[in-house]
Amino acid sequence: MSRRALLTVLLLCSVSLIAQNRPAPTKTEVAPGIVMFATPSYGDVGLDGNSIAVVTRDGVLVFDTNGTPAAAAAVLAEIRTLTNQPVRWIVNSHWHWDHWYGTETYQRAFPDVRIVAHEKTRALMMGPALEFNRPGLETMLPAYLKSLEQRAATNAALKATLDEDRFFLDQKTHVRHTFPDVTFNDRLGIDLGERHVEVLNYGRAVTPGDAFVYLPKEKVLLIGDLIVNPVTFALSGYPTEWLHALERIDALDVDTIVTGHGPPLHDKQLLRATIDVFRVLLRDGKAAKEKGLTADQAKDAIFPGLHDLMVSITGDVPAVNGAFKQQLVDWYLHRVYDELDGPLSDAIAAIPPQ
């Protein structure tokens, strides 16, 4: 066996060894040859974004690469059961770790893979995003693990969670951050095999440089975290531009929307309900600020009026209602207030205090 062949075998072994550390992801074929992978959470400390493989006769495009190399390896093991074609393109939707920390797995397996992100996302990944994650990795998560270790010492039921949490911290600490080598501003067309893929940005939305993928022939939209099923995560977003981006997306001819988290959607109901929530929060948030209310007072004043819209999104499940109130209403309203105070920068905003 040549040295190169031996190296390839060793590499594949190491990928499948890593994959064995994670349960197989669930897979959903959202259109012929377009498969969404969802991975289980890491104990009680982390969640991956969805990862989507677009298979063609000349290679595979992967949209988002999970939050750890091990999760990406588990997804890659599934992709290998679908096709012998190499992964030629990766698109990372935005800078949040749960959508790109697994990229190294693909680059090791396919050294020629091209990695695409918006130009602002690449800039954030290369510095500010890593700084944003640092306190969690170096201080908060280790402290949490210590407290969990103490509780697990007298409660065996916590042992499995503790192992998962340790694994997560180990993965994130040792990840080799793998940055995009192809950037775009508002549009990048990729022709791969029989498919045409549009990588698009419609302005600042959940982050300064969101990338989403539109397959016009297949009428499939891979939307990243521009909306999340069921509740959109509105931390550090750009309220007015985000609404405009969703309005433009609503005009696209689409049968299936794959969100950054949660099951795929086969209509625009959640997209439109989220748009309606944004409109109410922008309008009523502005009025509340003019009346002199703080953002938190505005939330309490506006929230009851959102009840019917909330139920249409959450199905009135209490825990999901709670997420709706905090992650969508509270965080979006704080950014509405920030925006009214002056133009928002591309810097990552702090999490509002609870």
Measured from each CB, the residue nearest to Zn ion is 49
284 lies in the binding site for Zn ion (CB under 5 A) = no
98 lies in the binding site for Zn ion (CB under 5 A) = yes
Instruction: Single out the segment in contact with Zn ion by CB under 5 A; choices: 19-27, 139-147, 252-260, 284-292.
Output: 252-260
Report in angstroms how near the CB of residue 342 gets to Zn ion at its nearest: 28
User: From edge to edge, which strands make up the β-sheet containing 26-31?
Assistant: 26-31, 34-38, 51-56, 59-63, 87-91, 114-118, 182-184
69 lies in the binding site for Zn ion (CB under 5 A) = no
Q: Which is nearer to Zn ion, 25 or 49 (CB)?
A: 49
Residues 6 or more apart in contact with residue 324 via CB below 8 angstroms: 231, 310, 313, 314
What end-to-end distance do the CA atoms of the chain give, in Å?
Answer: 60
User: From edge to edge, which strands make up the β-sheet containing 212-215?
Assistant: 187-192, 195-200, 212-215, 220-224, 256-259
Q: Which is nearer to Zn ion, 74 or 148 (CB)?
A: 74
Rounded to 5 degrees, φ, ψ at 24 are -60, 140
Among 25, 43, 46, 260, the residue binding Zn ion under the rule CB under 5 A is: 260
Q: Which is nearer to Zn ion, 230 or 260 (CB)?
A: 260
225 lies in the binding site for Zn ion (CB under 5 A) = yes
Report in angstroms how near the CB of residue 93 gets to Zn ion at its nearest: 8
Q: Which is nearer to Zn ion, 107 or 259 (CB)?
A: 259
Q: Which helix (H) or strand (E) holds 4?
A: helix 3-20
Nearest to 207 by CA among 251, 239, 183, 180: 239
Using CB under 5 A as the binding criterion, the count of chain residues that bind Zn ion stands at 5
Q: Quick check: 232 and 271 in contact, CB under 8 A?
A: no
Instruction: Single out the segment in contact with Zn ion by CB under 5 A; choices: 32-40, 92-100, 153-161, 292-300.
Output: 92-100
Contact set for Zn ion, span 109-128 (CB under 5 A): none
Instruction: Single out the segment in contact with Zn ion by CB under 5 A; choices: 57-65, 135-143, 194-202, 222-230.
Output: 222-230
Nearest-angstrom CA–CA distance, 210 and 38 = 20
Nearest-angstrom CA–CA distance, 51 and 67 = 10
Among 46, 49, 209, 352, the residue binding Zn ion under the rule CB under 5 A is: 49
Q: Which is nearer to Zn ion, 49 or 180 (CB)?
A: 49
Token pair listed for 60: 């595979």
Site string for Zn ion, 186-215 (x = CB under 5 A): ------------------------------
Report in angstroms how near the CB of residue 126 gets to Zn ion at its nearest: 19
Residues 6 or more apart in contact with residue 70 via CB below 8 angstroms: 18, 19, 21, 22, 102, 167, 171
Beta-ladder partners of 212: 200
Report in angstroms how near the CB of residue 10 gets to Zn ion at its nearest: 33
Residue that the structure tokens 């989507």 belong to:
52
Report in angstroms how near the CB of residue 48 gets to Zn ion at its nearest: 8
| Contact residues for Zn ion, defined by CB under 5 A | 49, 96, 98, 225, 260
